[in-house]
Homo-oligomer: A and B are copies of this chain.
Amino acid sequence: MSQRHIDVSVLAVRACPVAEVIDHVSGRWTVGILTTAAQGPVRFVELERTVRGISRRMLTLKLRQLERDGLLTRTVFPTVPPRVEYTLTEIAEELLETLQGLTAWATRHRGTVAAARAAYDRARNAGGNGDDALVPQAT
């Protein structure tokens, strides 16, 4: 989610690291892009195909963001047609590992969350669209 976040406080007086990470990682596509790139060097089209649903525009934008943050390395091969490969940097790989903790948590409590939602929705009449209601992003 990009930095529209001006105020990040909450956890610490100084810039909060968590907020920063969350900001880097959150967003619909980031994790998907990183995990795909983790398999080895990937090309633009591969990402476009693998990260289902992402638009060309978003992919480009996210790719640039990740590159800027030092999570992805972009290599251009002066061939024709052009060939560009993206690779994870070391810190990105570390990040991905760390992320596994979250994966574990999610997996472990998937059922609990689902149940909670069902209960909540059932509680107030027929409401709830089954999906995430009331939303916001993102972050």
Q: Does A70 contact B (CB under 8 A)?
A: yes
Docked complex: A25-58 residues within 8 A CB-CB of B? 25-28, 31-32, 35-36, 50-53, 58
Chain A interface helix/strand/loop/mixed: helix
The number of chain A residues touching the other chain, given as a range, is 35 or more
The answer to whether B31 and A11 have CB atoms under 8 Å apart is yes
The answer to whether A69 and B27 have CB atoms under 8 Å apart is no
Q: Shortest beta-carbon distance, A14 to chain B, in Å? A: 10
The answer to whether B136 and A7 have CB atoms under 8 Å apart is no
Q: Does A137 contact B (CB under 8 A)?
A: yes
Q: Does A139 contact B (CB under 8 A)?
A: yes
Q: Does A85 contact B (CB under 8 A)?
A: no
The answer to whether B137 and A2 have CB atoms under 8 Å apart is yes
The answer to whether A51 and B10 have CB atoms under 8 Å apart is yes
Q: Does A126 contact B (CB under 8 A)?
A: no
